[in-house]
Structures are given as C-alpha cells and as structure tokens.
Structure 1
C-alpha cells in the first residue's frame, strides 16, 4: 500500500499512520478518556486506542479493513446505529477487555473488504455520530 494512501487514511481517521510491509496501520488515542483499572490511572495504548489496519488484496483495488475501537458504554448504540448504514462493514465483535475499569469500556471490532477510503470515511462518520470528535 502506498504511503500517501496510508497518510490519507490516517488523516480521515484523525490518527497516526505506520507502514509495515504492505499493511497500513492507523492508531488514534482517545485523549478524552480518563481511565482507571483496579483504581490506578492508565494511559496505555492497549486501553485507550482506536486501531485500524488496511491490507491489500491480490489483484483488487480493495483492501481488507480491520478495526478495534474503544468506546464508552453510552457511545456503543449510537455508533452501531450509524455503522449499520454501511452495506460493506461487518461488526465482528462487541466485548469488554478489562475488569474493574472506570469508566466502563466496550471494544467494537469491524471488518470489511472494500475501498479503504470509503471504509475510513464511514467509520469516521459513525464515530462522529457517537460523539467522538
């Protein structure tokens, strides 16, 4: 995947791009989250990051698009209502990662095979609908 396309995807998703081999990784920290686990503050990327990967598929102009998004409990339904408007994007998991975290965090996994720019735009719109700027 071209570095310029990876940079464009990062801009749409308001994240940082990293190219590893042919895979574009975009990471965006939820700077608005103040999280504790077991009563201790954490800023770990494992806890507060939105993560995306875009991987080329042989002989196609589409990519395998994957995402793991950290959402507050109250952001989940607005996000899902917005993302369900996409015919291409599948919600593949909704779950928690941690015990005894505050506030309650829910992780949503997405997957699709489609134009990566369209995937990024659709996810960005859904995040905005959920109140994530």
Structure 2
C-alpha cells in the first residue's frame, strides 16, 4: 500500500494552474519585471511558468512538448518586511548555461543545482535550480535579465479566443484510478502533482508544494494507448533505492538522481525518469514506486 499520512488542505496540481490576475501589488511588480503574469497558488505562492516553446527537443524519436519536460518556472513567496523568497528551475541549452549563471550570480541569486533531467535528448538540455531572498521586484528583474540571455520566451502569449476544453488521447479516467490521484490536462500533457506528507523546509522556511516540493508525473500520448512519461519523485534518503528498484523492475528508466536545494529539511533527493510504453502499464509501475513514498492523503 502507498504510505499516506493525512494532512489538511491537500493542494492541487501545480504547474498547470491557469494564470490569475495578481491580487497583491508585489505580485504585479514581479509580473511586470518578468514580462509575463503568473498564477496565485496555495500557500501564498506566486508562480510564473516559462515553457521553452522555442526549443524543438527530441528524445528516442518523441518530440517533447514543453509541458512534459521543458517548463522553466519561478515561484515567489513573501516572508515579511516587503521581502520574498524565490526558487525556480530554468531549462537551458548547453551554450546558455554560463551566460545565464554569470548574470544571476552578479545579481545575488544563488545557484543551488545544475544537472540533466533527461538522457539522449537532442538538443541536450540542462536544468539550473536557483534561490534568492530580497525585494521581489528586484529579484524578478535580475531573473528577467539573466533569462533574456537565453531563448526563453519572456512575454505573455497573445490572448486566445475562448475554446473548448482541451482533450488528450489517453484514458485519463483509467490513469486516475490506477494512480490513486486525479491528473490535469495542459499543454498536450496529462500531469499529476502529488505533495509529500510532511512539509519540507529550506533555510528554516516551510516550502509549499508550488515551490518545487511536490512529486511531478507527466504523460504525453504517443499513439495507440502509449505515452512518454517523465517527471521527478521527491524522496528522502531511505526511499531512494526502493523507488529506484521499483521503477527499473517496471521498465522505467531512471535518468537522474540529485538534490535541488542546499539547506532542505528533511534532505530531499529528486529522481527523474523516462519511458515510452503502454500508458496504463506505466501508471501501474509508477504507482508501485509511489507505494514506497510518504505522500499526502487525497
């Protein structure tokens, strides 16, 4: 059975929330500095998604949708006195890494991790995790100026006319049933966001799931009931190898294992994965892996 500990206020999906008008002046200042509005998330987080829609990335013959594995994001949360903490994950090509890093460091933003999430993808992508504390608008300006040295789209897309709800070529009801959680369609991907049971902390501050502390599992249909899957499990040390073994036994490749933060409690490890196979078969394998993780109850 999946290890579950009841928590209050179980949070919904993170990365696919619809943008909302910033209700607080500091949120509007952040949106203006970045050049794109974000979404208000549970836990007081203001999160801006920055998908790398400019990139054409192929892995094992699958063209990756930005929502599957190419979504940069920035998440801000206030902590009093007009100050805020920002955390984020920036998707960069190899040649973008050093210019962006130099600009961030010069602006006082900390680099907390730099690594791959995928294997064999063309072009190769790196993932730079960042953290900072200070005036939220100033933090946003530094981040904007750094990302402007990459190809990351930094403007809001043109307003689209109302359309029918997005559909996807997967049996989402079956996936929900197998996973024991409800996913959400967005950007051509069916995504699950699963918070851990305990509230992780970084530098003594509680981290809501929208700050990158939730398990992310994404399905992109590849035809005939198949899907490419990727994402990351958020694990304590004792959970790492049981999850790794379960994924491998179910035909799911482990593509990276590392930290994203520097001062987290408990110490968290992020395990990334990849497979392209029957979607329901993969969901059963992922559920078996989740049985070794302390996740929040539905």
- C-alpha deviation, 1:12, in angstroms: 2.3
- The separation in 2 between residues aligned to 1:7 and 1:125, in whole angstroms, is 18
Three-state SS of the structure 1 residue aligned to 2:289 is: helix
Cα distance in 2 between the residues matched to 1:16 and 1:61: 19
Equivalent position to 1:20, from 176, 186, 189:
186
In 2: Cα distance, 1:105 partner to 1:11 partner: 28
> Which of 72, 77, 87 is the aligned partner of 2:236?
72
| Residue 53 (structure 1) aligns with | 218
| Rounded Cα–Cα distance in structure 2 between residues aligned with 1:52 and 1:115 | 15
Question: Secondary structure, in 3 states, of the residue corresponding to 2:183?
Answer: strand
Q: Which residue of 2 aligns with 1:105?
A: 268
Q: Deviations over 1:28-82 (max 9, x none)?
A: 111x12211011112233333111111122x543111112110111100111122
* Deviations 1:94-126, CA, capped at 9 Å, x for gaps: 111001110000011111000111111111112
Relative to the length of structure 2, the TM-score reads 0.40
Q: Distance in 1 between matches of 2:241 and 2:203?
A: 26
Per-residue deviation at 1:131? 4.4
The separation in 2 between residues aligned to 1:19 and 1:7, in whole angstroms, is 12
TM-score (norm 1): 0.84
Comparing both structures, which one devotes a greater share of its residues to strand? 1
Contact 1:14–1:28 at 8 Å: present in 2 too? no
Q: Does 1:44 find its partner at 2:209?
A: yes
- Between structures 1 and 2, the one with greater helix share: 1
Deviation at 1:21, TM superposition (A): 4.3
Q: What are structure 1's unaligned runs of at least 5 residues?
A: none
**Is the 8 Å Cα contact of residues 29 and 45 (structure 1) preserved in structure 2?**
no
Unaligned runs of 5+ in 2: 1-167
Offset of residue 13 of structure 1: 2.2
**Which one has more relative contact order, counting CA pairs under 8 Å at least 6 apart?**
1
The two structures, once aligned, show a CA RMSD in angstroms of: 1.9
Counterparts of 1:92 and 1:78 in 2: how far apart (Å)? 16
Distance in structure 1 (CA, Å) of the matches to 2:173 and 2:216: 14
